[in-house]
Amino acid sequence: MSEKSSSHITFILLAPIAIWMVVLLILPILVVLVYSFGELAAMGGYRPAFTLAQYANLPARLTAFKNTLMLAPAGTLAAFLIAYPLAYYLARTVKPRRRLVLLTLVIVPFWTSFLIRTYAWMFILGGRGIPALLDFIGIEGVRLLNTPTAVLIGIVYGYLPLMVFPIFVSLEKLDASLLEASDDLGASPLRTFLQVTLPLSLPGIATACMVVFILLMGEFLIPALLGGGKVFFIGNALVDLFLQSRNWPFGSAVAITLVLIMLVIVTIYMRLLFRPGRTQEVSMI
């Protein structure tokens, strides 16, 4: 096959996904970018203009940015600290017969609506849930609902399965002979884990953390229900600006700022991950 024919086939295969990306990703972002330089119309919405006033007003949503940039990484880290031991147990300890059952139990929460599960946590963390139980045993005055702690708990619960599976796949693919070789060479179990298991599972860790973190940056349901309007994320600010206040230009400016923040974070992450001299390949979803 000639080089020219190969190029034509490649173009034909890539054209559908390229069109898909342009129509559903690039064009909407361009529209939001144009709106961010506009002005608020008299009846709400967008009025054509070219002004930086919307970006100058970003400090008005500083709390939402601060909450997001604090709780999204914290939630990602907390989910990882719980997910890794669980994934390790499923991949390296459980027998294959039981593994499928336990993996199914990890997925079970996804069989119900995310909204319903979050409402369930409203009851668990509310006055008739855990605080009432603590009050019964003599620990009074504990308030969980409408706090950052409640939001963090909801984040870990809601996103834990997304953290578990990439790590599980990475651990399951580990070559057992490498672990046996480390043991034969006299390495302790802890040293084997730190020098063999953990480095070889980095692809799954990198994928899981990136996916969960990106999704958390746009989260709005958990803060809205478990934060009770007191723990606002950028997602909540966007819902308010676009659907309630109908301040589309300011909402667009907030959205574009969020995109730029994510680009910076992802760029730094990728540079650290694929820095020169790093030989281990890391797969991304």
**Domain spans, the chain:** 63-247
* Cβ 223 vs Cβ 233: under 8 Å: yes
The answer for residues whose C-beta is within 8 angstroms of residue 160's C-beta and 6 or more apart is: 79, 82, 83, 106
63-247: what CATH class?
A: mainly alpha
Strands (E), the chain: 39-40, 46-47
Query: For residue 163, which of 233, 71, 48, 83 has the smallest C-alpha distance?
Result: 83
- pTM for this predicted structure: 0.85
For residues 40-54, one letter each, b for 16 or more C-beta atoms within 10 angstroms of the residue's C-beta and e for the rest, the string is beeeeebeeeeeeeb
Q: Which residues pair with 46 in a beta bridge?
A: 40
Divide the 285 residues of the chain into consecutive groups of 10 and give the mean pLDDT of each group: 68 84 88 94 91 94 94 95 94 86 88 90 90 87 90 94 93 84 82 87 90 92 90 93 93 95 88 62 38
- Determine the Cα–Cα distance for residues 280 and 282; give it in Å rounded to an integer: 6
